[in-house]
Amino acid sequence: MSAPGTEAAARLRLLIVDDQPLIRRALAMLLAAEPDIEVVGQAADGLEAIEQALATTPDVVVMDLQMPRASGVVATREITARLPATRVVVLTTFDHDELVFEAIRAGAQAYLLKDADEAEVLDTIRAVHRGESRLSPAIARKVMEQFRRLAPGAPVPLPPPVPPLAGQAATTVSAGGAAPVLPRHHLSEPLTDKEQRILELIAQGKSNKQIAATVFLAEGTVKNYVSRIMEKLHARSRVELAMHASARAGSAPA
């Protein structure tokens, strides 16, 4: 929990999105009880989530996936496109491969299952607000196994972008079809040995602080390395970097 002197102006602004009223209200009560968190809105579906996010500009959105009108994937894609500073934490009961990949590609910074305990949910929300990415262990294994299995093959094309939602009727995202695979970009510059080592540590789920201790660099220097690697690999988050690392490992010659 935060220090007692935390000022209201510095509190993390949170939007909660879930189509089940009981779960939504319980989350709001739980999270609003934290001195460093302010719940600025609640939404019952994807379209309402987008409207609430644009109206309140939250720091973090806790997002369910399977909802009426517009899914959490649609809402995540729209919110992260319109509000780049807002980060999305998926909190769902579903761990299907397709939903995991769709949510990450839409811009989610974390993916948790609803059986996560209170401490894990709070830690993830705060970590994402700091700029980190988090996956529950089961989801992380799923992501890595999928990319190791698919890396040697041809990339699967991504679905076309979702059109703007202004005036749009009820919308859902299908959970069917193959899981999308990150395209293999041709780098304008190859990764240096140090960058490759840092990428491997990111794939292991290590934070910048842990990486700094491992490779004997200042944490700020590691942050600069991570930014440069993201530029080279055209990745938007540490989760995508981990996927790239896995794909590169899978396609490396034996």
Question: How distant, in Å, are the alpha carbons of 26, 107, 222, 224 from that of 228?
Answer: 41, 19, 10, 6
Q: What is the CATH number of the domain that holds 102?
A: 3.40.50.2300
Q: Is residue 78 domain-shared with residue 24, that is, in the same domain?
A: yes
Q: Is residue 134 domain-shared with residue 216, that is, in the same domain?
A: no
Q: What is the CATH number of the domain that holds 210?
A: 1.10.10.10
For the chain, the average pLDDT equals 75
Please write the tens of the pLDDT for every residue from 234-250. Answer: 777 777 776 666 666 55
Residue 109 lies in a domain: yes
Q: Is residue 142 domain-shared with residue 188, that is, in the same domain?
A: no
Residue 153 lies in a domain: no
Tokens of 201: 């540590």
**Contact yes or no for 238/246 (Cβ under 8 A):** no
Residue 154 lies in a domain: no
Residue 4 lies in a domain: no
- Look at residues 146, 167, 195 and tell me which one is the last residue of a structural domain: 146
More confident: 240 or 164? 240
Q: Is residue 139 domain-shared with residue 185, that is, in the same domain?
A: no
Rounded to whole angstroms, the Cα distance separating 207 from 127 reads 10
Residue 66 lies in a domain: yes
Give the per-residue pLDDT at 234.
75
Express as a percent the part of the chain with pLDDT over 70.
69
Give the per-residue pLDDT at 71.
87
Q: Is 16 helix (H, G, I), strand (E, B) or coil?
A: strand
Please write the tens of the pLDDT for every residue from 83-107. Answer: 999 999 998 887 666 777 788 888 8
More confident: 128 or 138? 128
Q: Which residues contact 73 (CB under 8 A, 6 or more apart)?
A: 65, 99, 102, 103, 106, 173
**Contact yes or no for 49/61 (Cβ under 8 A):** yes
Q: What angle do CA 186, 84, 146 make, to 5 degrees?
A: 50
Q: Is residue 54 domain-shared with residue 123, that is, in the same domain?
A: yes
pTM of full prediction above 0.75: no
Q: Is residue 16 domain-shared with residue 132, that is, in the same domain?
A: yes
Q: Is residue 42 domain-shared with residue 122, that is, in the same domain?
A: yes
Q: What domain range is 46 assigned to?
A: 11-146
Nearest Cα residue to 63 out of 22, 24, 7, 119: 24
Nearest Cα residue to 45 out of 8, 18, 16: 18
Q: Which residue has the tokens 């529950």?
A: 136
pLDDT band of 165, cuts 50, 70, 90: very low
Q: Which residues contact 184 (CB under 8 A, 6 or more apart)?
A: 155, 247, 251
Mean pLDDT of 136-158: 58
Which range is least confidently modeled, 41-45, 68-72, 121-125? Answer: 68-72
Q: Is residue 193 domain-shared with residue 99, that is, in the same domain?
A: no
What domain count does the chain have?
2
Residue 139 lies in a domain: yes
Q: Is residue 137 domain-shared with residue 182, that is, in the same domain?
A: no
φ and ψ at residue 110, rounded to 5 degrees: -150, 150
Rounded to whole angstroms, the Cα distance separating 2 from 254 reads 49
Which range is least confidently modeled, 8-12, 28-32, 53-57, 69-73? Answer: 8-12
Q: Is residue 191 domain-shared with residue 123, that is, in the same domain?
A: no
Q: Is residue 141 domain-shared with residue 27, that is, in the same domain?
A: yes
Give the per-residue pLDDT at 13.
95
Which range is least confidently modeled, 35-39, 62-66, 152-156? Answer: 152-156
pLDDT band of 175, cuts 50, 70, 90: very low
Identify the DSSP state of 43.
E
Query: Which segments of the chain are extended strands (E)?
Result: 12-17, 37-43, 60-63, 87-92, 110-113, 134-135
Strand order in the sheet with 60-63: 37-43, 12-17, 60-63, 87-92, 110-113, 134-135
φ and ψ at residue 163, rounded to 5 degrees: -65, 165
Please write the tens of the pLDDT for every residue from 14-30. Answer: 999 999 988 889 999 99
Q: Is residue 27 domain-shared with residue 104, that is, in the same domain?
A: yes
Residue 168 lies in a domain: no
Residue 129 lies in a domain: yes
Identify the DSSP state of 6.
-
